[in-house]
Copies of this chain bind each other. A is one copy, B any other.
Amino acid sequence: MGNSLNVAVLGATGAVGQEFVRLFEQRKWPINELRLLASERSVGKRQAFAGRNLCVELAAPEAFAGIDVAFFSAGASRSREFAPEAVVRGATVIDNSSAFRMDPAVPLVVPEINFDAIQPGTKLVANPNCTAIVLLMAVAPLRALGKIERIVMSSYQSASGAGALAMDELVEQSKVILAGGKAEPVQFPHQCAFNVFSHNTPIDETGYNEEERKVIAESRKILGDPDLKINVTCVRVPVLRAHSESITVEFSGPAPSVESVRKALSGAPGVKVIDDRATNTFPMPVVASGQDDVFVGRIRQDLSNPNAVCLFASGDQLLKGAALNAVQIGERMLGLS
């Protein structure tokens, strides 16, 4: 189609925004103009892209004029402000924030699972929560083996989910502590280096935090199963950029065999099975980092429930957990893939 596409990135200087730009270049998007948008304080920053030297511009309604597709990753309130402005100017918006995810009129999409939620004429698509994406990439392929009744998941979430400054905080705080100093958390409410803490989102009267409630609600919407039972505990670990998850999948009848689970996952697009019991090699965040696939392994029968299997997954939070999933949505909507 030639380099005919005009693309905007809202939140271009953030951790996810940077991945968008890298992915457009890596995946050879046929881009005519790439418009990098951000708030006042980032305006004027330079950004290399495919041999061009781009300048970050101010996010404003008129910045979306002439844009074919816009990727948003600047937080929910920016998305609420600018999505209607972009759509009214003819752009298709793929929004990485939580603003529209649970809006019944907006498809919430993991392309390998429910691309068919996007209808002809859809102009706004929500990109799911990163923890939900990693979970569903591991779990959705098992629907072919039986009806899933309940999922129990505990997460091991990286700093990247809280943005570039949080990743910096993990690095700098680690140095301080190794030098005998004391942590002074800014991005996180607690020490992140050499520590583990409950996910730093508000907790409601049920005792669940917002991240956990997102995983439950979004997973149900993406799988089209509003009654799916989900037990989830979201926890931060001192890892830079891939989320890991310990997952138990309970079926309505006897669990499928380990071999059939391994086969279903091996054949699932976007999933890589890492499951070598002999060498104790399973998914790890340092190996999943920078990789497009979600890694799944530790496949085993749940010894406490004949109807359940256990898995462990790791996926790059900035890639399949955010920018890559959105870019894949865009590619399929635009007929690029």
Question: Using a CB–CB distance below 8 Å, which chain A residues touch chain B?
Answer: 150-152, 154, 156, 170-171, 174-175, 178, 189-191, 194-198, 200, 202-203, 206-209, 216, 229-231, 233, 235, 237-240, 244, 246, 248, 258, 277-280, 282, 284-286, 298-305, 308, 310, 312, 314
Contacts and interface: CB of A to CB of B under 8 A. Distances in A.
A178 to B, nearest CB: 6
A196 B304 contact: no
Count the copies.
2
Chain A, interface SS category: mixed
A231 B248 contact: yes
B198 A298 contact: yes
Contacts of A308: 231
A154 B153 CA distance: 9
B197 A282 contact: yes
Contact of A208 (B207, B229, B300): B300
A154 B196 CA distance: 13
14 contacts: A152-B304, A154-B154, A154-B246, A174-B194, A178-B178, A191-B284, A191-B286, A195-B286, A197-B284, A198-B282, A203-B280, A207-B298, A233-B298, A235-B246
